[in-house]
Amino acid sequence: MKLRTFSVLAAAALLAAGCASTTSGSVAAGGQSRSQLLLVSQQEVIQESLKYYDEQNREARSDGKLITSGAEFNRVQAVMRRLVPHVAVFRPDAVQWPWQLVLINEDTVNAHVMAGGKITFYTGILRRLQLTDDEIAAVMGHEMAHALREHTREKMSQSAAGDLAISIGGALLGLGQGTTQLASMGKQLALDLPFSRNMESEADLYGLELAARAGYNPNAAVTLWQKMATLGGGGPQFLSTHPSSGDRTAALRAAIPRVMPLYEAAKAGRR
């Protein structure tokens, strides 16, 4: 029993030590900074991300789908470069990250980011939604916000902590493997998926501010999700890792007045 108690105390100490935050708060989110569980090292996450990014690009290149020049690539590249200097508002070290963008020629309405600032856009999101530069900035800001907030690292840490808790709880209570598996399923529904939705909402707000600071119209975030809504989607929100389009647009509309002065100042400075 003493060994079990020690294991629980050690696990609790590990979780407490992992609580931190690597970025300042966002004006769009009310200026408050949320503490994050960061048990996994930043370097480990970046190394794994780079492996995936390189593999993705090799495969796209071999299929003739990797775009690194031309009008479409230049548009998204220009938006990224305009946003990068403003990441210092949230974390100064991020300005020095090796930010990189690739465009993949696929009819996929998507974009994603890897830890450390490796961004992927798909031509499908540009062409099917007929994105304006302001709307590209809304997408780009959202993806860059995921990297700034280290959401991949946080999600990996959360998953590790949840698995540790289930393992210790099962041992303490003498639960069988079947019961532990049910607990894991419950953890996914009650913790992992809603937490992913929270990260998406957070990236929306940080990205909104980032785009505004770079002089892109914040209202484009709303028109972006209105366009996304026309594509439809399946499954109830509680089983999704993304908020519903209605919830997203409502949150963005509420935050736009907070970042509009930043946009106006940036626009005046670019004249």
CA–CA separation, 153 and 161 (whole Å): 12
What integer best gives the mean pLDDT of the chain? 80
Specify the pLDDT at position 119. Answer: 95
What separation in angstroms does the CA of 56 have from each of 52, 60, 68, 121, 143? 6, 6, 14, 12, 17
Residue 48 pLDDT greater than 90, yes or no? no
pLDDT in tens, 137-159: 999 999 999 999 888 888 877 77
Within a domain: 163: yes
| Residue 240: pLDDT band with limits 50, 70, 90 | low
Going by pLDDT thresholds of 50, 70 and 90, the confidence category of residue 194 is very low
Tokens of 154: 């946080």
The answer for residues whose C-beta is within 8 angstroms of residue 21's C-beta and 6 or more apart is 33, 34, 35, 36
- pTM over 0.95, yes/no: no
Q: Which phi and psi (to 5°) does residue 225 adopt?
A: -75, -25
Domain boundaries, position 257:
39-269
Q: What is the pLDDT of residue 27?
A: 85
Helix axes 151-173, 193-213, angle to 10 degrees: 160
Residues catalogued as catalytic: 143
186: exposed, middle or buried (Cβ count in 10 Å: 0-12, 13-18, 19+): exposed
Helix (H) or strand (E) segment spanning residue 47: helix 42-62
- Rounded CA-CA distance 264/271 in Å is 11
Number of structural domains (the chain) is 1
Residue 189 falls inside a structural domain: yes
Residue 69 per-residue DSSP state: S
> Is residue 152 assigned to a domain?
yes
CA distance 203 to 209: 10
Residue 19 lies in a domain: no
User: Quick one: pLDDT at residue 185?
Assistant: 44
**Is residue 248 included in any domain, yes or no?**
yes
In this predicted structure, the answer to whether residue 189 has a pLDDT above a threshold of 90 is no
Residue pointed to by tokens 């108690």: 5
Question: Is 24 among the domain residues?
Answer: no
Position 233 scores a pLDDT of: 56
Helices 177-187 and 151-173: angle between axes, nearest 10 degrees: 150
Is position 23 within any domain?
no
Q: Is residue 15 part of a domain?
A: no
Q: CA 190 → CA 134, 197, 234, 241, distances in Å?
A: 35, 12, 20, 12
